[in-house]
Structure 1
């Protein structure tokens, strides 16, 4: 009997030991799912309680399939049953972890968190965590344990100082620092503007303080590399104030704008038209109209229609205009010089019709940078007269000056400020035509009237190919073969042949070579538009010169020209009267 109980005890102990060993073996996919859930729970707790320690432990019981490979005890005569092996999901290494989570039989979650977290937050955490890691509250168990943990103290002595005391100390030291800095800056300013008689520099009279304009000029002259007006000119309000002061000084000159003024304006228009436009809009409206009417080319429309913002370059330009004020002869003479300058490329052909003494009388008063190149084109063998002889040897009567002025106005009328509105209206069309094919451009221009604004501001380019053979031959010689290759790119063979037919074999081969190089590379649209516009203007000038050879010598005056001359003479007389009254007052 005793041996019977002993054997039974050994048998039961062996079964229990084997059961524990089997239950302690965890499937690899179960470990993967547990690790995934622990990582998700840890991520949730880190966001829920940042900078708070915690411990997460999760165990799951997998829901296994019970499969049998044995055949059924009873098989029907019409169905032959074969045993089928069923693979459990937890044994399949190809199934995703997300497909295994629904195959959880039960999950046990244990979280250890500090005791400082209140009960309400613990309850919310339990509910939200189970939902976050996709567990079922009714099926699964969750245990939250709160413990008191000792954390290492890394607090410095500054952490024990109240925040109010630190804020008060910061304000106090800032006030002391700015007070010392302000006093030092004030002493520096006083030392710069101290009268020579006071060595200590403690007193400075108001008369010795420079105006903003003078201070700006001195800063610019002493430091050529610095922007005019130093750092204060970066303030747009200060820029506007200084510009207005200088503009008021500038328009006191009754002859403004003179030829020298317009040349400086034109140079700035080529480089920074937006800044120049911002400067012009600071002038009174009557001077805006006057300056716009004296524009030399179509860049003037960009200047007045697309203004930017004032910058240091505007102030520097005003300083230069104020420094180069010159005595201009009153009456028609100053307007004649400006009008000759406005003719630009047309000026040589225009002046050739007059006597040499009359032309040199005009060129002597022109700037040398414009007068000498113009004289070389008109009189290639006699232009040195401008450098070797005296101006007094050449005179031009007022009546002859008026006649030349009338003809110059007919050659190139002044710009009308009202045309700006039309420019805004046709701006998109102009940009489209500049990049369109020659055939499209021809159709658009033929639709418009001959005196349309578009034809005036942008001469048609297609007429270069449709013109007389001798005119086409003349313009072919003006531009290089490379320019013609850029222009003829993406044009029809008919247009190309009109140019190639008038070239010798060497230039024709060179043109074809340039075209092949452009085909292999990339065309510069900006360069193509610029050359096309230049050719259109050049051809128009050549055509006008041919059409007006007979009419240029005739003295044909219009009512508008007579009114303009009368207005110029009226202003000149008023200026002379004012100057005479001022001289009488000074003498008295």
Structure 2
């Protein structure tokens, strides 16, 4: 019994000693730290943070040295019945809630990222006080900002900068390597042609002599081409610019807008003459008109220049200003020579319809009618056309139209006007919008043919009808490809190697080789090298169209020159009416 009693005493003492070494303050700190983590993870889920919590229990702090000193102190196994109760902070059976109530103060230290604003930090502090049920007077919450995100961004920037620098160095190295390879390939490619050129120097010299002779002929073609260009006689200040020209042109156009909106036969005749001579300049004026006005003028027009003027309008230039100046003078003249008949809309439209008919057919309409009946009708036409028809219909009485006064017995017959109008419309009907639409369709097809291969161009010209506008007005480029050596050599010096390469880039291999064989050796070599540099790729379609049109125009002029010379030679060799040759007789 005595041994059992001693054993029980020893177990009790050891249990009390174990509880004495237990410290429940750490559990309270972990509880508060868990709550703070929950608040931060809920409010700022993607933001880094750190939390440190310490609690003040009111007990004296015990260091490790004190604990080691207590371990060295000998504790005798005696039991004192009057000993007081154990401290609850050292007991394991006390609930955590009871211990939290006995905490004097709580200190929370939170470190967050510097990207959070002051408002967010104040909100976080209030949430921690409410969620942890802290006392703002006793407890302390400290929030510190840390530059963690800036350090991460700087680390990412270093990686990206390093990758870019490495890529740049790699690109420079690859460029240098490719340039060296290209130079070596170019040197090896030029070695053989240069040696071939050196071996064929004599042959090239002979061909160069022939080319010099042909170039002399080509220079004469250019001189004749430049001499045929008429320079407009425009007296304008030398310092005037395009803006001032446009302002002056628009002012004149606005002043004479009534002429365009209510045209008569004289005005349409003026447009036909000036537009036929320079459709681009007239088109720049027509482009500034309203759509209804332009349709009305086109309806009464008769020349083919209208299509080019409407389809290819240019900006207002000095030529446009000169034409508007003439229109302004025509308006002033119209004020002083305006007749009462031209004030009538019906008479004015009749004159426009009759003006579109050829004079021979008008003569057929009016021949045999009395002068008193035909005279008022002819007076509605422009003066030059009126006098021309009067001399044809009334050879002995046409002088009466020279008088400025109209005979009193001349009265317009409405029924006779209607009869002549019906005959005129049957012979020369007015234009409609379908004609201009058809023109634009032909214009699109011409634009396609200007950059198409000669093989496709031949196929189109074989199926197009002979009366087609494209066949009548456009000279095909495949005629240049099929030309003889002499014609090609004459026009070869008019264009640079780059222009020839651009024109031949749209040709098939066989057509391109056919043209190259007819060109001089040096020009041929330069064109081939240009193709090799571009790896036989096509040039821009707009540039191809412009260059091919220029080459086609030069070839057409050279063909006309050769035809003229041939006709002159045939004429000089042909015998005269008596059967003798003129040169032989001389």
Q: What TM-score do you get using the length of structure 1 for normalisation?
A: 0.35
TM-score by length of 2: 0.35
